[in-house]
Amino acid sequence: MATDLEIAVHKVVSTNPATGETLGSFDSASGEEVRRAVSRAHSAQGNWNALGIRNRLAIIRKFQQLLHENKSGVAQLVSREVGKPYVEALLTEVVVVLDTARFLLDNAYRLLRPEPVPHGSLAMKTKSGLLLREPYGVIGIISPWNYPFSTPATEVLGALVAGNAVLLKPSEFTSLCALELNSLLHAAGVPQDVFQLVVGDGATGAALADSELDKLIFTGSVPSGKRVAQVAAARLLPVVLELGGKDPMLVLDDVDVDVVSSGAVWGAFVNAGQACLSVERCYVHRSLYDRFVERCVEKTRKLRVGNGLDPETDVGPIIHERQLRIVESHVEDARALGARVLTGGKRLPERGPNFYAPTVLADVTHRMRIMREETFGPVLPIMPFDNDEEAVRLANDSEFGLAASLWTRDRARGERMAARISAGSVLVNDVVSSFGISEAPHGGVRVSGLGRTHGPLGLEEMVRTKYVDSDRLPGVKKVWWYGYGEAFTRQMEGFVDLMFSPSWLTRVQGALRSTGAYVRKGRL
């Protein structure tokens, strides 16, 4: 597995993508170090679970307080390590995690407590059922670089509240953000072995995926996710996979062009387009197409590109050279196949080593890579459509299915169309923000992944369910036990009529025929 995912390097280096400055250097955890960490987590998990959910929530409340007190420092760290504007780091990283803690504090006890299971069958009315939710044990989390604080933190908090021990392997590009999360959790009272950080490269992640975990949550690329799934399948390790998207934005013919073009520009360029929920394909009704494209170009040219720590910056850098080359190749492929580059379409070396100008493309088609492959950069490709049917068809013409947005003044129309789009979530008249709704699930369909994080469904991913049923008449032999015979057969036929016949007369007759079964002799 270690050679399957990526080739190991001895150290991982954290670099400011806006300046090229080295922020830190760390040894990659070896496979043996990962295995020892997993073993320690297994030893510590039982006591953590025994602490009880109310005591674990008290620790989460302390974490929330500490994060709030250190909000500026955390946001600045995210901005330095990823490049995004400070205000984006504050809102999409720190605020999201604070609100996740709020959601768990308000709801986790109710969602995780034993749940009575009603029994509708007459034959089972003497029983009492409970659905129990128990921690998996040790959960491994492999998280990405684009949201290096909020993505792992939201998953870690849910896993911890449910009583699991957690090992987090962050992206090798954002180790400092993970170390800050580690520090805050331990300061809040999470024991050292209950939450552990394993810093490293792809080989470290491979070792974690191949270790004695009880569940694995992975966020990353489709190819890496498939390899993780193959390793997990070998021992039926449960997984949650969030593997990115090619999210469509559908602009119908009744919108306010000024409002919706602003939404498109923000949705395409927030975090320099390096968000799995970014607008990566924009489809606009032909009657609005020219005006819409014109407004998008006008607004894109006003965006200020620069270092995220500069409060005037709107769009920061690409994370590294390799990702920048992917963006360049998609734009050049589209240009070669007939797309018009209306603004941008080039590097900005005067800004720093990893800057690419926010780019608007017109006249794109599905023959182009920009409309098929995940770009993960500041590019807004726009394509016209003629009617709602075509819009839905174009939106669904993708192997991805993470999220989508649909824009219309007619809410009912939007929700009808949303139901026909293949995606894990669809926003009507907004974009991206579903990740910031702590009650809402996050995840996709098709190659965008398996399972969900966030909200009640995300919390369900952190527990095993166990059904417990108690019979209220332990001293009575059950009617259906051995001692069959012709009379019993007729009685059971009557019982079936009692339960399921559409005729009330037949039901009454069935009740009379089945009565003898309850007092029959000869049961073993």
By annotation, the residues acting in catalysis are 242, 276
Please state, in angstroms and rounded to a whole number, the distance separating the CA atoms of residues 483 and 521.
Answer: 8
Please state, in angstroms and rounded to a whole number, the distance separating the CA atoms of residues 315 and 319.
Answer: 12
3-state secondary structure of 183: helix
DSSP notation for 237-273: --EEEE-----EEEE-TTS-HHHHHHHHHHHHHGGGG
3-state secondary structure of 168: strand
Tokens 């492959």 appear where?
Answer: 373
3-state secondary structure of 14: strand
Name which of 166, 406, 412, 144 is nearest 275 in CA terms: 144
Name which of 307, 190, 209, 178 is nearest 2 in CA terms: 209
Please list the residues that pair with 341 across neighbouring strands. Answer: 361
Neighbour-count burial of 462, counting CB atoms closer than 10 A to its CB (0-12 exposed, 13-18 middle, 19+ buried)? buried
Distance in angstroms between the alpha carbons of the first and the last residue of the chain: 55
Please state, in angstroms and rounded to a whole number, the distance separating the CA atoms of residues 433 and 380.
Answer: 18
Tokens 């036929």 appear where?
Answer: 493
Cβ proximity of 83 and 308 under 8 Å:
yes
Cβ proximity of 398 and 243 under 8 Å:
no
Structural tokens at position 370: 């920009």
Neighbour-count burial of 389, counting CB atoms closer than 10 A to its CB (0-12 exposed, 13-18 middle, 19+ buried)? exposed
Please state, in angstroms and rounded to a whole number, the distance separating the CA atoms of residues 321 and 482.
Answer: 73
Structural tokens at position 312: 């005037």
289: left (phi over 0), alpha (psi -120 to 50) or beta: alpha
Structural tokens at position 390: 């075509």
Distance of CA 251 to the CA centre of its chain: 25
